[in-house]
Amino acid sequence: MSNWELELQNEQERVDTVIEKVEAEQQKLGEQVGSVRTEIVSIRKDFWDDVTVNLDNEDEAIETAASMRQQAEVLSERERTHRQAYNQHKLLMKLKENPYFGRIDFVEQGDQAAEQVYLGIGSFYDKESEQFLIYDWRAPISSLYYDYSIGPAQYQAPTSTITGELALKRQFVIRSGQIRSMFDTGITIGDELLQQVLGRNASDQMKSIVATIQREQNLIIRNEKSKLLLVQGTAGSGKTSAALQRVAFLLYQNRETLTADQIILFSPNQMFNSYVANVLPELGEENMQQTTFQQYIEHMIGKKYKLENPFDQLEYLLTAGQDEAFRIRMDGIMYKSSLRFMQTIDQFVERLRYEGMIFRSLKFKGRVLIDAEAISSYFYSLSPKQSIPNRLQDVTSWLIRELKKLEKRELQEDWVEQEIQFLDKEEYDKFYKKLMSNKQFSEDTFDDFDREQKLLAQYVVRQHFKPLFRRVRSLAYIHVASMYKELLAWAATQGDVPQNWPSICEQALARMDEKQMAYEDATPYLYFKELLEGFKSNKLVRYVFIDEAQDYSPFQIAFIKQLFPRARWTMLGDGNQTIFPHEGGLTDISTLFPDDTQETIRLYRSYRSTRPIVEYTKQLLPDGEAIEAFNRDGSKPLVVSVESEEALTGAIVEQVKAFEADGHQTIAIICKTVQEARAAAERIGDRLPFRLVEKESSSYSKGLVIIPTYLAKGIEFDAVVIYNASAEQFNDEGERNLFYTACTRAMHELTIFHAGEPTAFMQGVSQELFEVKSL
Ligand SMILES: Nc1ncnc2c1ncn2[C@@H]1O[C@H](COP(=O)(O)OP(=O)(O)OP(=O)(O)O)[C@@H](O)[C@H]1O
């Protein structure tokens, strides 16, 4: 038996022992989980038996509340124990299959012997030998595995830096308790394992990368100092992967103080959400909150306006001809996404401190109860030293007081009596119950007619006044939309607006009059509204992640920043994949955090695509030289020229069939727009089974999809077909990024079709980097 074979045998024996211990622990825990569950069920069932309810007087009520609280605490403590034990049990299940993926031997300075550290997705402590048989990949000592090759090494322990010597670094592939392969690696995390991982076909969801995290990615994952961590990385360099492992790391590192719902990830689209949804659960963690910016602002705008989807905005820009209306819209988008416009809004709001606030009169049954003018006078009678939101709070209190007076006066009106007479039984019962619960009278006094009439009148008027009170409390008496329109007009006096500003405003107003809001108006409108009403910031969220950050305008980022005042920020992006038009870029983001600690990490190595695909796609960019390919072989991209669009269909169907025959499981026909995707789907008809993705709401799954580029953002496919890269389709320099984004979705195969002349973007690529075919 060779030394290596002997070594392998020893390692397998260790795996066997560890699994045995894990199994024993799992069984013990299983019993515990079961008994705690039974206990919880019984506490829930008997909850009210164990609480003494007595509401006879105030003291008794306080006693009752205390007793309920105590019982609820017992329950929630048991539930917490159950959750922890259950999660631990789930983790042990995973460790039983695949206990660890790495080993390092570390000799701490001053010590003789090396400590063997085995790394897995969670720790496992053996009480018998009093040692960790598996270390969590996120433990401080585990960072040695990712950061160092054999030789001097150090890691940051909670209170000090530990230095020493890394004597061995070993990787394992263990499946169902059996070591399938084992490598000792000298340099970085072995290329061999990465080759294996990246060579596989895509599954239906993104996987965790803990076993093969690269050193530069580890810097992102474990960064704890920066308030803003900006990651600029090329397509496929693992930005999203690193971000998700970072969430897992933060949850581990701050496990006493941080929960998954205090982390929020803004992702590019819904499909992406479903694509990444499994990474954290795979690591035994709960998912963070996930949303898209659109979802977030849609919620803030509410039902008042139908908000345009950013992808509809983009579709318009890509499909509308370059006519006058297009140019007006484009200029409007550029200006409204800039920080200059944000400043203009600030100045306008400053002005409103002294004049110009517009209010709505409070009306009731067609009568003006409190006139807008009166509200305005009250508002401006308050000191301008007070902020607008504070003054509005005072106005709200004043309005409520006034409404209460008016409500009383209303009791005398004729309509009240009429309504009482026509009160149906159901309403009457409701009224009666309410009075009983308010203890406003007892059964004895019920026959007191006058008293009943009076209470009924109060009840009826209250029902009618309720919406008014609600409107006042929700500040609906401020006419934000009118002031936003004023703001647009006023902006013209500031001098830096685009030349065609009046037409831009006209477009915006026409939409707003139809109760719609263009995507470019949404952020300025909300920012303005929040400045007036007071920012409804979320102070609970501690970490915000923004993926595909290059697609956010500086204004949007500045706005999100104000929504989460206590958060630390991780922004990930790639300037070469910017598809939304706006001023500023990724580097401008740093200027939004002037006083904060910040760090920028750049990733140049692309892991997603094979070397030939990366070599090809990097030449689509004017400045792509810095992009490096991970050394994974594959075939060169194929560029197929066909004469006409009609000829495309047959050729593409054949190509997809060939991909399927090669075993590729996720295949995408990527079109420039939804319009093109629909046409492609129509042409392909029933010649192939496919899914047309034209809406935001689709989820990621295996098979063939026909998809517009912008909905494929952030995700990947085994094989990609570019539907039509003709000069006619891609003729604007602004679309280069879109084209690059589409091509970089490919992991193993890329075929680009073009009907007629190819786009100029492809003409800069060296001939030897691709195959050509003419049909
Ligand atoms: N260290 C790694 N080990 C294994 N796989 C990796 C590693 N880093 C990245 N990958 C894989 O590379 C692919 C691309 O990663 P990811 O989607 O995170 O890149 P990205 O930078 O967000 O890409 P894009 O900007 O193009 O959306 C994924 O399949 C991911 O699993």
User: pLDDT digits over 413-429, tens only?
Assistant: 888 878 777 777 777 77
Nearest CA to ligand 1 atom 23: 236
Check if 214 has its Cβ closer than 6 Å to any atom of ligand 1. yes
C-alpha 193 – ligand 1 centre gap (Å): 15
Higher pLDDT, 581 or 142: 142
Q: Which of 13-17, 267-271, 363-367, 405-409 has the highest mean pLDDT?
A: 13-17
User: In 3D, which of 99, 115, 104, 108 has the Cα closest to residue 17?
Assistant: 99
Which tokens go with 417? 């009596």
DSSP states of 660-688: HHTT--EEEEEESSHHHHHHHHHHHGGGS
Chain-wide mean pLDDT for the chain? 89
Check if 236 has its Cβ closer than 6 Å to any atom of ligand 1. yes
What's the rounded Cα separation, in Å, for the pair 676 and 684?
Answer: 12
**624 has binding-site annotation:** no
C-alpha 82 – ligand 1 centre gap (Å): 35
Domain boundaries, the chain: 1-95, 98-222, 362-474, 632-774
**239 has binding-site annotation:** yes
Band of residue 40 on the pLDDT scale cut at 50, 70, 90: confident
Check if 279 has its Cβ closer than 6 Å to any atom of ligand 1. no
**234 has binding-site annotation:** yes
Check if 239 has its Cβ closer than 6 Å to any atom of ligand 1. yes
DSSP 445: G
Rounded to 10°, the helix 449-473/414-421 angle is 110
Q: Indicate the SS3 state at residue 174.
A: strand
Check if 74 has its Cβ closer than 6 Å to any atom of ligand 1. no
| C-alpha distance from residue 224 to each of 220, 227, 562 (Å) | 9, 8, 21
Band of residue 542 on the pLDDT scale cut at 50, 70, 90: very high
Which tokens go with 365? 């049954």
**374 has binding-site annotation:** no
pLDDT score for 447: 56
What's the rounded Cα separation, in Å, for the pair 178 and 371?
Answer: 79
Question: Is the confidence at residue 438, as pLDDT, over 70?
Answer: no
DSSP 662: T
Looking at residue 608, its amino acid is R
Question: Is the confidence at residue 530, as pLDDT, over 90?
Answer: yes
> C-alpha 132: how far from its chain's center?
35
Check if 574 has its Cβ closer than 6 Å to any atom of ligand 1. yes
C-alpha 732 – ligand 1 centre gap (Å): 29
Question: Is the confidence at residue 154, as pLDDT, over 90?
Answer: yes
ipTM entry: 0.99
pLDDT score for 561: 94
Nearest CA to ligand 1 atom 3: 212
Q: Which helix (H) or strand (E) holds 124?
A: strand 124-126
**pTM listed for this prediction:** 0.89
C-alpha 632 – ligand 1 centre gap (Å): 14
Check if 238 has its Cβ closer than 6 Å to any atom of ligand 1. yes
C-alpha 684 – ligand 1 centre gap (Å): 31
Which tokens go with 656? 């997809």
Q: Which atom belonging to ligand 1 lies closest to the Cα atom of 211?
A: 3
Q: How many Å from the N-terminal Cα to the C-terminal Cα in the chain?
A: 58
C-alpha 12 – ligand 1 centre gap (Å): 31
Check if 142 has its Cβ closer than 6 Å to any atom of ligand 1. no
**120 has binding-site annotation:** no
Q: Which atom belonging to ligand 1 lies closest to the Cα atom of 714?
A: 27
What's the rounded Cα separation, in Å, for the pair 349 and 495?
Answer: 17
C-alpha 135 – ligand 1 centre gap (Å): 25
What's the rounded Cα separation, in Å, for the pair 17 and 306?
Answer: 61
What's the rounded Cα separation, in Å, for the pair 590 and 584?
Answer: 11
**663 has binding-site annotation:** no
Check if 217 has its Cβ closer than 6 Å to any atom of ligand 1. yes
Strands (E) across 519-630 are located at 543-546, 568-573, 598-603, 605-606, 628-629
What's the rounded Cα separation, in Å, for the pair 231 and 220?
Answer: 8
What's the rounded Cα separation, in Å, for the pair 230 and 586?
Answer: 8
C-alpha 257 – ligand 1 centre gap (Å): 29
What's the rounded Cα separation, in Å, for the pair 653 and 642?
Answer: 13
C-alpha 283 – ligand 1 centre gap (Å): 17
C-alpha 549 – ligand 1 centre gap (Å): 16
Residue 121, judged by CB atoms within 10 A of its CB (0-12, 13-18, 19+), counts as buried
Q: What is the pLDDT of residues 627-685, one digit of tens each?
A: 999 888 899 999 999 988 888 999 999 999 999 999 999 999 999 999 999 999 999 99
Q: Which atom belonging to ligand 1 lies closest to the Cα atom of 213?
A: 1
Q: Which atom belonging to ligand 1 lies closest to the Cα atom of 237?
A: 21
C-alpha 604 – ligand 1 centre gap (Å): 12
Q: What is the pLDDT of residues 731-745, one digit of tens each?
A: 888 899 999 999 999
Check if 213 has its Cβ closer than 6 Å to any atom of ligand 1. yes
Check if 164 has its Cβ closer than 6 Å to any atom of ligand 1. no
Q: Which atom belonging to ligand 1 lies closest to the Cα atom of 574?
A: 25
C-alpha 515 – ligand 1 centre gap (Å): 41
Which tokens go with 408? 């009383």
Report the pLDDT averaged over residues 325-338. 91
pLDDT score for 160: 92
Question: Is the confidence at residue 262, as pLDDT, over 60?
Answer: yes
Q: Which atom belonging to ligand 1 lies closest to the Cα atom of 241?
A: 18
Question: Is the confidence at residue 137, as pLDDT, over 70?
Answer: yes
Query: What backbone torsions phi and psi does residue 481 show, to the nearest 5 degrees?
Result: -60, -45
pLDDT score for 450: 72
Question: Is the confidence at residue 88, as pLDDT, over 60?
Answer: yes
What's the rounded Cα separation, in Å, for the pair 517 and 508?
Answer: 8
Do 472 and 396 touch, CB atoms closer than 8 A? yes
- Lowest mean per-residue pLDDT among 72-86, 261-275, 609-623, 701-715: 72-86
Check if 190 has its Cβ closer than 6 Å to any atom of ligand 1. no
Q: Which atom belonging to ligand 1 lies closest to the Cα atom of 207?
A: 31
User: In 3D, which of 504, 451, 180 has the Cα closest to residue 337?
Assistant: 504
Question: Is the confidence at residue 439, as pLDDT, over 70?
Answer: no
Question: Is the confidence at residue 76, as pLDDT, over 90?
Answer: no
Nearest CA to ligand 1 atom 16: 238
C-alpha 284 – ligand 1 centre gap (Å): 20
Do 656 and 683 touch, CB atoms closer than 8 A? no
pLDDT score for 697: 66
Q: 210, 231, 241: which to mutate for ligand 1, most atoms within 8 A of CB?
A: 241
What's the rounded Cα separation, in Å, for the pair 581 and 718?
Answer: 29
pLDDT score for 197: 78
Question: Is the confidence at residue 189, as pLDDT, over 60?
Answer: no
**366 has binding-site annotation:** no
Do 346 and 531 touch, CB atoms closer than 8 A? yes
Q: Which helix (H) or strand (E) holds 563?
A: helix 554-563
Is CATH 3.40.50.300 the classification given to domain 632-774? Answer: yes
